Amino acid sequence: MRASVGDTLLVHGRTVGQQDRRAEVIEVLGPQGTPPFRVRFDDGHETLMSPGPDTVVRHLSEEA
């Protein structure tokens, strides 16, 4: 998985009824756009994240 600053990560809910969560990539800490990423969720929470198979990258260029 590769991402750039400004891309969005969509984390799918793992259980029935759990909402998907969106996070903006604010810093890429791995080499050549690979995890870990520092992200900011819609509620303002920031964390380091190494996304799993339940996560999709929406590149900034795709959203424009």
**Which CATH number belongs to the domain containing residue 42 in this structure?**
2.30.30
- pTM of the predicted structure, to 2 decimals: 0.85
Query: DSSP assignment, residue 4?
Result: -
Domain with 31, as residue range(s), is 8-63
Residue 24 lies in a domain: yes
pLDDT at position 56: 95
pLDDT at position 62: 67
pLDDT at position 43: 95
Residue 3 lies in a domain: no
Q: Are 50 and 35 in contact (CB under 8 A)?
A: yes
Mean pLDDT of 47-62: 90
* Total number of domains constituting the chain: 1
Q: Are 6 and 61 in contact (CB under 8 A)?
A: no
Query: Is residue 63 predicted with pLDDT exceeding 80?
Result: no
Query: Is residue 51 predicted with pLDDT exceeding 60?
Result: yes
Mean pLDDT of the chain: 91
